[in-house]
A = this chain, B = another copy of it.
């Protein structure tokens, strides 16, 4: 089989203006960026307001292996399958981060015959939104350090006289806004900034700092949750970047930098329109993490897509305990639009990995034996898939399992798995999904099952409402959501909870940041664990995004490059075409 980029380059793509017009946009409602990308204007939403709202299908997964189970392939494949059935359909996905493209993971445009095209544009700069997020984020960081420097240099009084501003008296030990970069750059995780040569102070106030990858920026979560430009601007001003010497929060608005951040991010509010290899219109918008943030593409993109098309297919990061939970409890409560159906991606290797019969450790390569026939492991691992089906249904959302087929999968095992799912008491459907190898022709059965399930009259029930206390919300996700016995807050987390209450941050959503490799907070615990505790080490405030995230373990927010990074394969050929991208 050809490589992803070869398949992509061999495909004939429509001019993006034709994709836009076929999708139902008018000429004044999009701006082409070259031949295959367009920014979609939010004024389209005004015109489309009275259109019926289409069905929203959220692709999630069972507990994944570190390789992922093919959620984006399934998302794009399913959208193509729906198009094969002559349904009007759009896909909405997150913008991939450039860091992993150069590191280990590679691109995130789907794969095989279910890709968003041109994949190299999606995987690299696209229309510059991540760059703009990075720029706006780092502008706030520069503003903080400059303010500390100028206020400390000759004292607060002098500063106030000279500038006409009120001193913010930021505590340099309590700056909570790091810098960001869209690279896997281990060396930037912990840095000292503001260093000076001996006897000089011209380079600023020395303090400990660090960089996250840009996708981990609160601004990315804000972009994904904003409902329009005004909402974006307001959220940008609510960000707490530091605390002052009295322990009170200092915001971007206090720094008078929120306006400039909004100016910098102005164009990011417009989703980018692209197409799949089979011409299905696809909106790319925002790319927040699925642990420290909610891991779903934007509300704005969904709003446009569901007004333009009968079916909108989108995805949430990691398993249904992660991106799907946050899609329901955070995103849907902000947008007012819950998924009408969830597709749970399962794979033979994913089930076996969840059997407990293999010694899988996070960060270590998957043993080859996992890809061989092993009925016992399949049965044991099925508990995990069952958990995810029940989890989806718990929210009142109907489910279809998509068994994402890999070339090495045995037909017998695939049928065994299908039968096991069909035998479940849930009203769940199942189809083998072959989007990778066959494009939309490989997902027609899946598409049919999805259409059927979206006709159910189930009622959406989130696990909590924002008005509950933060403790109640944390308990709702951990206990009602994961099935844990208890939430255990560290002393630090308890103190933080008090401080957050004191400062009035009690009506926010909660976002649990835990390992995606287990339903519990311990990545080595496979299957469908129960009777476990959810330890919360630390609480962090994202007042702009509107949630408090709870660290249940170490979350790496700046990846590193391996000893032989993927960038070594990348180059331009004689004709200036990109080679080596996957």
* A residues in contact (CB < 8 Å) with B: 31-35, 39, 98, 102, 120, 124-125, 128, 131-132, 134-135, 138-139, 141-143, 145-146, 149-150, 159, 162-165, 181-197, 202-205, 208-209, 229-230, 233, 256-257, 259-260, 262-264, 266-267, 560-565, 567-568, 570-572, 576, 578, 580-581
Taking a contact as CB atoms under 8 Å apart, the answer to whether A190 and B162 are in contact is no
Those 10 A-B pairs whose CB atoms lie nearest each other, nearest first: A259-B571, A260-B567, A145-B187, A131-B131, A146-B561, A190-B195, A187-B204, A142-B185, A31-B34, A260-B570
Q: Closest approach, in angstroms, between the C-beta of A261 and any C-beta of chain B?
A: 8
The residue in chain B whose Cβ has the minimal distance to the Cβ of A150 is: B563
Q: Which B residues touch A131, using CB under 8 A?
A: 125, 128, 131, 134-135
Identify the closest chain B residue to A160 (Cβ).
B563
Of the candidates B31, B132, B159, B576, the one whose C-beta lies within 8 Å of that of A563 is B159
Q: A125-B128, A567-B139 are in contact. Are A186 and B145 (CB under 8 A)?
A: yes
Give chain B residues whose Cβ lies under 8 Å from the Cβ of A257.
567-568
Are A191 and B193 in contact (CB-based, < 8 A)?
Answer: yes
Q: Which single member of B120, B186, B193, B563 contacts A203 (CB below 8 Å)?
A: B186
**Nearest-neighbor residue (CB-CB) of A128 within chain B:** B128
The distance in angstroms between the C-alpha atoms of A131 and B33, with both chains bound, is 16
**Is there contact, CB below 8 Å, between B263 and A570?**
yes
Question: Chain A interface mostly helix, strand, loop or mixed?
Answer: mixed
Q: A143-B565, A571-B263 are in contact. Are A138 and B185 (CB under 8 A)?
A: yes
A165 partner, pick from B162, B186, B194, B563, beta carbons under 8 A: B563
Once bound together, how far apart are the Cα atoms of A163 and B565, in whole Å? 10
Contacts of A128 in B (CB 8 A): 125, 128, 131
Bound-complex Cα distance A225 to B124 (A): 24
Compute how far the CA of A567 lies from the CA of B259 in the bound complex, rounded to whole angstroms: 8
Bound-complex Cα distance A128 to B98 (A): 14
Further pairs besides A191-B191, A204-B560, A259-B570: 6, Cβ < 8 Å: A31-B35, A120-B263, A138-B183, A146-B186, A159-B563, A259-B568
Interchain CA distance A249-B567 in the complex, whole Å: 21
The answer to whether A578 and B190 touch across the interface, beta carbons within 8 angstroms, is no
5 A-B pairs with CB atoms under 8 Å apart are A124-B263, A165-B563, A188-B193, A256-B568, A259-B580
In the assembled complex, which residues on chain B have CB atoms less than 8 Å from the CB atom of A120?
263
Enumerate chain B residues within 8 angstroms of A230, measured Cβ to Cβ. 576
- Which single member of B31, B145, B565 contacts A185 (CB below 8 Å)? B145
Q: Smallest distance from the beta carbon of A579 to chain B beta carbons, Å?
A: 8
Residue among A33, A39, A229, A563 with the highest chain B CB neighbour number at 10 A = A563
Contacts known (A135-B98, A142-B185, A182-B135); A266 close to B192, Cβ less than 8 A? no
| CB-based contact B141/A185 at 8 Å | yes
Min CB gap A16→B, angstroms: 11
The contact of A262 among B141, B193, B267, B572, by CB within 8 Å, is B572
CA A145 – CA B135 in complex, angstroms? Answer: 23
How far, in Å, is A41 (CB) from chain B's closest CB? 10
How far, in angstroms, from A85 to B186 measured CA to CA in the complex?
A: 58
Task: Indicate whether A142 sits within 8 Å of B184 (C-beta atoms), given known contacts A102-B260, A229-B572, A570-B259.
Answer: yes
By beta carbon, the residue of chain B nearest A203 is: B189
For A560, list chain B residues within 8 Å (CB): 146, 149, 204
- Contact among B102, B132, B145, B192 with A139 in the assembled complex (CB-CB below 8 Å): B102
With a cutoff of 8 Å between Cβ atoms, the chain B residues found around residue A132 in the complex are 125
With a cutoff of 8 Å between Cβ atoms, the chain B residues found around residue A570 in the complex are: 259-260, 263
Cα-based distance from A230 to B35 in the complex (angstroms): 23
Cα–Cα distance between A502 and B98 once the two chains are bound (Å): 38
Q: Are B32 and A581 in contact (CB under 8 A)?
A: no
Contact yes or no, B567 A143, CB < 8 A? yes
**Are A164 and B564 neighbours in the complex by a CB distance under 8 Å?**
yes
Return the chain B residue nearest A195 by Cβ: B190
A572 to B256, CA, bound (A): 13
Query: Hey, which chain B residues are within 8 Å of A189, CB to CB?
Result: 195, 203-204
Instruction: Output the least CB separation between A169 and chain B (Å).
Output: 15
Q: How far is the CA of A135 from the CA of B33 in the complex (A)?
A: 20
Q: Are the C-beta atoms of A263 and B163 separated by less than 8 Å? A: no
Contact B205 A187 (CB under 8 A): yes
CA distance A572 to B124 in the complex (A): 28
A197 contact set on B, CB distance < 8 A: 190
A165 closest partner in B (C-beta): B564
Complexed CA–CA distance, A570 and B33 (Å): 26
